[in-house]
Structure formats: structure tokens, C-alpha cells
Amino acid sequence: MAHYDEFAWFYNRYWNEDFHGLAFPILEQIWLPRVPPGGRVLDVCSGTGYLAGLLSSRGYAVTGIDHSPEMVRYARENVPSAVFHIASATGFHVPGPFDGAVSTFDSLNHILELRGLKAAFRRTAEALQTGASFAFDMLLDEAYQTHWGENFAIVREDHVLTITNAGFDVRSRRAQCTITMFRLIDGCWKRSDIVVEERCYTHQEIESALRSAGFGELLCYPAADLGMAAGIGEGRVFFVATKL
């Protein structure tokens, strides 16, 4: 996860608020009414803690897990009222039970093998109370064949970021882009290059993995139908699954 450590500063500065400003109203509509007020919430792939902060400010007791130590460092600074652990989504163990779980910003698409996705769903189910709901969003085919990873740049006096799209392989169902970052630190420019890869799962694969992990009722909401703007909402689906 070293490459996510390198990306944490940019992620914390640019990506969290923009995405969750659109995603959180959706979660308030489709998922939060299922979580008891003041309940315990598990944030899977919590990043630098922006969603955890929104939930904490509304009185929820949030525990976040993320595989990147640098992401977790930012999260602990940003949301001291929440608890964060450095752990993989496919192998975490945290004291439960939780009243709800959430994973956002297509984090689960970063799991590149179906067995890993099943493991993440299983770990999440094990942490939840019976009847608790797990909300998450994932990108399906349309996203990877349109706007995902499209060329993009941010240029500032002391930092630069570029994204270069390497495309979507329909056979492996994997998409790839390269992020190049420059930061001016103590008078010297530091460069970092990371390759971000995601796996496009089918709706059937997602549903089957949830069932095998112990989830029952499954609700699906295309992000575009819930008002998420075309670029970020295209091909994105929000799921809400209930633990049996």
C-alpha cells in the first residue's frame, strides 16, 4: 500500500470533500435511516476520514479501517473523535458488533480478485449485528468505458498532479491509470508516480459475493438516478445490503 501513502496528501486535499459532498446526501437518503441514532458505524476503506467526520458530527460512533498508514495518519488528525485502524479490507478484525457499515468512493473496486471481494464482504458481515445494513458504491462497466481515469491535471505553485488513463481491458476487466505528483518540500521538488488499478465486477458477481458472506436483502441505486453528476455518477451504483 506504499503508493496509497504517497497519494494521501493529494487525496486529503482534493478528493474527499468533492466526492462526499455528492455522496453523503445519497447515504442520508438510502442508508442512514437504517442506522440507529448514535449507533456504531464501521467505515471500510476510510481514507483520510472525511466521511467519518460527517458521521461523527451527527453523533455516530465511527471506527474506520484503511490499509494505508499515511491515510490513517491524516484521518486521526482530521477526526480525533473517531477510531482508526491500519488494516486491509480483506483481513481486518475489529471489536463489534456494529449497527451499520459503509464503504465509499469505489474503494472496493480496488480489490482486484473476486476472492478478495468475498473476503471483504465476509469480514464486514462478521462485524455487523444481525439486521444491520452495509452501504457501498461500486463502478460498473459504463464507468470504466467512459470517464474513469480520464486525463486530468492540477497545477499550483508548490504542487502538481496529473492523471493519465491507460484504459480498460475488457478481458481482465481491469482499468488502470497513472498518477504523477510533484510537491515542493523544503525547497526541493519531490516526484512520486503511482499506478492505480481497479477491477470492474458484474452485478451478478457482487450479489453472489454478498450472499455468500451472509447478507440477505440487497437494494441497488444507480447514482445518476439519485442526482449524482454525470462525470462522477456515470456507471456508479450504490448498494445497501442487510446482514441476515
**Which pLDDT belongs to residue 149?**
62
- The conformation of residue 79, written as its DSSP 8-state character, comes to -
Give phi and psi for 227, each to the nearest 5. Answer: 95, 5
Closest CA to 152 of 167, 165, 139, 168: 165
Residue 2 scores a pLDDT above 60 = no
CATH code assigned at 168: 2.20.25
Say whether both 176 and 237 belong to one domain.
no
Say whether both 231 and 123 belong to one domain.
yes
pLDDT, average across residues 6-15: 86
Say whether both 102 and 207 belong to one domain.
yes
- Peptide bond between residue 222 and the one before it cis (omega within 30 degrees of 0): no
Q: Which position has the higher pLDDT, 66 or 16?
A: 66
Last-in-domain residue among 198, 217, 233: 198
d(CA 109, CA 144): 11
**Which pLDDT belongs to residue 230?**
67
Say whether both 13 and 97 belong to one domain.
yes
Say whether both 220 and 122 belong to one domain.
yes
Say whether both 172 and 184 belong to one domain.
yes
Tell me the three-class secondary structure of 8-60, residue by residue. HHHHHHHHHHHHHHHHHHHHHHHCHHHCCCCCEEEEECCCCCHHHHHHHHCCC
**Which pLDDT belongs to residue 1?**
46
Say whether both 19 and 93 belong to one domain.
yes
Q: Which domain holds residue 34?
A: 2-141+200-243
pLDDT, average across residues 116-139: 97
Cell readout for 72 is 490513517
CATH code assigned at 220: 3.40.50.150
Say whether both 64 and 132 belong to one domain.
yes
Asked if residues 85 and 72 have their Cβ atoms less than 8 Å apart, the reply is yes
Say whether both 95 and 24 belong to one domain.
yes
pLDDT, average across residues 95-109: 95
d(CA 144, CA 12): 24
Asked if residues 138 and 109 have their Cβ atoms less than 8 Å apart, the reply is yes
d(CA 45, CA 101): 11
The string of pLDDT tens digits covering residues 223-240 is: 999 988 767 888 999 999
The string of pLDDT tens digits covering residues 129-163 is: 999 999 999 999 988 887 776 777 889 899 998 88
Say whether both 209 and 152 belong to one domain.
no
**Domain count of the fold of the chain:** 2
Say whether both 80 and 15 belong to one domain.
yes
All residues at 6 or more sequence positions from 91 whose CB lies less than 8 Å from its CB, including other chains: 119, 123
d(CA 103, CA 90): 13
Diameter of the chain measured on Cα atoms: 56
Say whether both 31 and 73 belong to one domain.
yes
